[in-house]
Structure 1
Amino acid sequence: MDDSGQTSAEFILLFGGIMVVVLLAIYMYNNYLSDLSGEISSREVNEFNNELSNLKSYFK
């Protein structure tokens, strides 16, 4: 019997499964980076506001 067709189909399924796992990992990593950048921006804004409040005491 000819097994080349079965081997090709198995490789296609294996490659498709690997692609699904890679795409899910990229999606999760993208969400992680988005959340992390939001926290960094929020922290920077808070620090800037605190510095402005500290400077305000010099102008009273």
Structure 2
Amino acid sequence: MAKLSSKNAYSSPRGFTIFELLVVVAILGILATMTGPAMSRIVRHNRVNRAATVI
């Protein structure tokens, strides 16, 4: 009789867990919250500059 492997099918993870995905989404949300206002200011500043060059 063949000896069964003692390794479990789940012993070596091959993907991401839900917790890891939630951590990544949380980090992306924090970064988006921090960069959102800065990007808004840049867009507003560029619109003003573009309008000034048109005039």
Compute the TM-score of the two structures, normalised by the length of structure 2: 0.47
Compute the TM-score of the two structures, normalised by the length of structure 1: 0.44
More helix by share: 1
